[in-house]
Amino acid sequence: MLKPKKNLGQNFLVDKNKINEIINILPNLKNKTVIEIGPGTGNLTNKLLENSNKVIAIEIDEDMINLIKNNQIINKRNLILIHSDILKINLNKLIVNENDVYLISNLPYYISTKIIFEMFKYPKISIFAIMLQKELVDRIFANSNTKKYGRLTIAIGSLFSLEKKINVPKECFKPIPKVDSGFIILKRKKINFDYNLFLLFIKDCFAKKRKTLLNSLKITENPYFEFVKLYLIRNKFKLNIRAEQILIEDYLKIWKEIENAKFKNK
């Protein structure tokens, strides 16, 4: 077995029982196209190939590419293996004829958030089934008015619903990482607002977590300060409320009113 590369964040899932548990909680993969980022040694890949119509596996490490190619156990009939950096590839070219794509991956911890936001750009990916470090999972599903609740919580909670979540102890990996992990399944919601502009708005809301929401907006170039202030007053929020005290659904309501107001002004 090849030695894992620390610079690529390689921690391979080797526990067969945990792999089977993950496969068993996945939605039905029959006739589905699956994208796997960082297949590594192919332990999960092989199971995905057994259950799905096609797997597009994208791997940055040439050694792992060759390992999978030479692995006689893996059925490569429905495997598309691509040697590339996921952040530099245009997935639209690979899924141009697909309508309902699943992303199923053990993401490298050091770059997982960046990959997630990059994958948000592809609306054809309807299911995100991903392995993340536990600390990141806790942030994604944090409750409001806690230290872990923030931009990531709102960004993902506004676009996805949580379908399932399982804990994955660090001992399930080789080499054993310093932290435990979590495998989560997210289902994309149907939305009717500009998600990218919404993310910029949320970024400004959390620009200064130690300040109030209105003070954070005041020091940015965000043009919505007065609108948000009026919204808070109208809905009986305290004007000294902080960004982490506001629920996801309230942020969505605020943004919906902002978009409606902008539309009416055109």
Length of the chain in terms of residues written? 266
User: Is 11 known to sit in a ligand binding site?
Assistant: yes
Q: Is the pLDDT at 266 greater than 70, yes or no? A: no
Give the chain's domains with CATH numbers: 6-188 (3.40.50.150), 195-265 (1.10.8.100)
User: Is 38 known to sit in a ligand binding site?
Assistant: yes
Confidence at residue 264, expressed as pLDDT on a 0 to 100 scale: 60
User: Is 192 known to sit in a ligand binding site?
Assistant: no
Judge whether 26 and 129 are in contact, CB under 8 Å: yes
Alpha carbons 45 and 49: distance in angstroms, whole number? 6
Burial of 210 (0-12, 13-18, 19+ CB in 10 A): exposed
User: Is 15 known to sit in a ligand binding site?
Assistant: no
- How does pLDDT run across 224-264, given as a tens digit for each residue? 898 899 999 999 999 999 999 999 999 999 999 898 887 56
| pTM for this prediction | 0.88
What value does the mean pLDDT of the chain take?
91
User: Is 59 known to sit in a ligand binding site?
Assistant: yes
- How does pLDDT run across 46-84, given as a tens digit for each residue? 999 999 999 999 999 999 999 889 887 777 889 999 999
Q: Is the pLDDT at 9 greater than 80, yes or no? A: no
CA triple 119-77-50, angle to 5 deg: 70
Residue in 39, 49, 47, 53 with CA at minimum distance from that of residue 2: 39
Judge whether 150 and 244 are in contact, CB under 8 Å: yes
User: Is 62 known to sit in a ligand binding site?
Assistant: no
Mean pLDDT to the nearest integer, 30-39: 95
Q: Is the pLDDT at 202 greater than 70, yes or no? A: yes
- How does pLDDT run across 94-129, given as a tens digit for each residue? 999 988 999 999 998 889 999 999 998 899 999 999
